[in-house]
Structures are given as structure tokens and as C-alpha cells.
Amino acid sequence: MQKIAVAMSGGVDSSVAAALLKRAGFNVIGIHLKLWPGSFKPETMARAVAKKLDIPFYVLNFEKEFKKEVVSRFLKDFNQGLTPNPCVVCNKEIKFGLMLKKAKSLGASLIATGHYARVKKTKEGFKILKGFDKNKDQSYFLYKLNQDILKCVIFPVGQYTKEEVRALAKKFSLPSMYAPESQEACFIPKGLAIFLKKHLKPESGKMVDERGRFLGIHPGSSFYTIGQRKGIGLPAGPYFVLGKKKNTLVLTKDERKLLRKELKIKQTHWVLKPCKNVQAKIRYRSKAEKAVVSGNKVVFSKPQRAITPGQSIVYYNNSELLGGSIIC
């Protein structure tokens, strides 16, 4: 019987993933990743689910590694005026990096998570496909996974909708069947602004228009992102954040000036092989649009609103995830 380690966060998705794999005949072990201080409630729920499923349960403390690889990098990027995506880094370095190594040391040859995505084995290699639930698809966050990782990964809930997963949780009588959806990154439970104020020392700076004319003072450019309208607090608005120059915010009243067709990229990773003609998303919830990837540049067929340095641009061919880059 093949042994598989399931990353159990305490939520309904990973709980159902473990239940489905046990029903399919795998030798399932549950692994809870302790990533941030004070996260006792999710661990308690994950442990309860493991007990209900009658599977071994392990808690792996990766707080030190998570702080170094994810949180410190996240804060550094914000301090440099970028808007990073910590989940992309966490998936590569922690959930499918450190966890896979630890799972193998526990005798597991495969790992599984509750991501809404799918892995398909083909003659060319392993492909990542979107999850069936269009509103919950999480393939965007997985573009940095390589072939060595993908051959060891299963996404059991990727072929279900969220409603179907909730129904399965009730069918299996799992303690997490009513667990709420997580809205923020796991280390930002009280919101981004509160987290940044606690961990950074933002400096106030000028807000200017496109001609450099003074408009006001901001409390710290880290609290703002490209395209932002709310929270600027200037009269005679609305104003939009058009750009950042060191600690100066450049604002505009003309929202059309947020539209761009071209952007520069770095740290490109392809799941299987490089592609030129793609459908690209500049953020998780944006619509994928036709684009051409050429060297360190991406050109869209239609202008995109508020292209943001630090975010991931992710490439698709319909339902297949091709790869991604960092916007610079």
C-alpha cells in the first residue's frame, strides 16, 4: 500500500483530501505545518480530523524556515516598494520543498494538499491544470513547482467544486466541515496594514501628481499599491496610485493612465518548456488575456490595469498552467 503524506491545515479542503485518499486505499499520514507562532487552533482541528480518519498525525515546526524564506522576503519586498505574493514562495520553499523532504523521511513517496488544481502525467512530463471550480482554482500559486516535485504530488480536491467538497466533509462527518474560509496569508490574520505597521518602520513621504506637484503627505509608501484608490485621503478626488519613486507616491485622477500593454519580467519558470504565445494573468483574480512572452518582456493584446511590480504574472494555455514570472 503506497504511503502518502497529506498537508493538513485544519481547513475543510485538506481534510477532505485526506479522507478521499484513505477511501482510495492509500496509507495516509497527516502532516500539520507549524509556520507562524500562535497558530494553535488550526493544529487542534487538523489533529481532530486525523483522529476521526484514524491516521497517524505529525506536527512539523517550520517557523524558523518560514520566517526566513517567506516572511522576511515579503517584508523586504514591501520595504522596496514592491507588492509580493508570499503564497507562491511558500508553496515552492515550504509546502512542496521542506515538507516533501520530511515526508520522504517518514516513508511517504507522495504528498497531497487541498489545493484546487490538478496534475496530469503526459508523454512530455507532468502538467499542472486548473481546478474544476473556476472560482476556487489555485493553480496560479503553483507555477514555481518543477518536474521533480510534480511527480510526487496529488491534488485530490482539484476535480471537485467547493460545494461538493463541503458536501463530502459532511458525508465523512469531518470536524472541519464548517471551518471558515481563510482570507489572508496565514501570518497576516489581522490584515496587511496592521502587520506592516508592526514589522516595518514606514517613513512618511510626499504625494505628487504626474507633473511632480505636491498634493499631500502619506504615512508610508509600503501601505499603498499600484491602482489603489481607497485610503489616499485627499480632497477633490478620487485619486489613484500611478507609481512609486523611492518614498514618493505619484497619483493621478485619470484611471485610464493605469492601463499598460507591456511589462518587464524576471525569475521566469516554465513547468515543462518555454512558450511564446500564452494567456497571462497579472494577479490571482484578474482575467487571463492573450500575450506574447519574449525574453524579459511580456506584451498583451489588450491593455491591463494597474500592473504591479513584485506580483506574479502567470501563463496559461486554456486550462494548462505553463509557467510564470515576477513583474519588475
Domain range for 231: 202-253
Q: For the chain, list residues with pLDDT below 70.
A: 38-40, 183-184
Secondary structure letter of residue 109 according to DSSP: S
In this structure, is residue 12 part of a structural domain? yes
- pLDDT tens for 281-317 read 999 999 999 999 999 999 999 999 999 999 999 999 9
Alpha-carbon distance of 218 to 250, in angstroms, equals 11
pTM of the model: 0.94
Let me know whether 119 and 7 are in one domain.
Answer: yes
Query: What per-residue confidence (pLDDT) applies to 148?
Result: 96
Give me the CATH number covering residue 307: 2.40.30.10
Amino acid at 320: E
The residues, ordered by sequence, that sit 6+ positions from 324 with a Cβ below 8 Å of its Cβ are 88, 140, 143, 144, 268, 269, 312, 313, 314, 315
Q: Which three cell numbers stand for residue 279?
A: 494567456
Question: Would residue 186 show up in a list of annotated catalytic residues for this protein?
Answer: yes
Domains in the chain, number: 3
Q: Are residues 155 and 240 in the same domain?
A: no
Say if CB 284 and CB 83 are below 8 A apart.
no
Shared domain for 113 and 206, answered yes or no, is no
48-74 pLDDT per residue, tens = 999 999 999 999 999 999 999 999 999
Q: What is residue 39's predicted lDDT score, i.e. its pLDDT?
A: 58
Q: For position 33, what pLDDT does the model report?
A: 95
Choose the catalytic residue: 152, 186, 275, 328.
186
> What's residue 223's pLDDT?
87
Residue 152, C-beta contacts closer than 8 angstroms, at least 6 positions apart: 100, 109, 110, 111
- Shared domain for 60 and 136, answered yes or no, is yes
Could you say which of 171, 189, 214 is where a domain stops?
171
Please tell me whether residues 34 and 161 are part of one structural domain.
yes
Residues 216, 128 within the same domain: no
Who's near 103: CB < 8 A, 6+ residues apart?
5, 29, 31, 110, 111
Same domain for 237 and 291, yes or no, is no
What is the reported pLDDT for 123? Answer: 96
Statement to judge: residues 125 and 210 lie in one domain: no
Catalytic residue check, 90: yes
| The three cell numbers locating residue 48 | 481532530
Check 90, 152, 275, 328 and give the catalytic one. Answer: 90
> Does any domain span residue 102?
yes
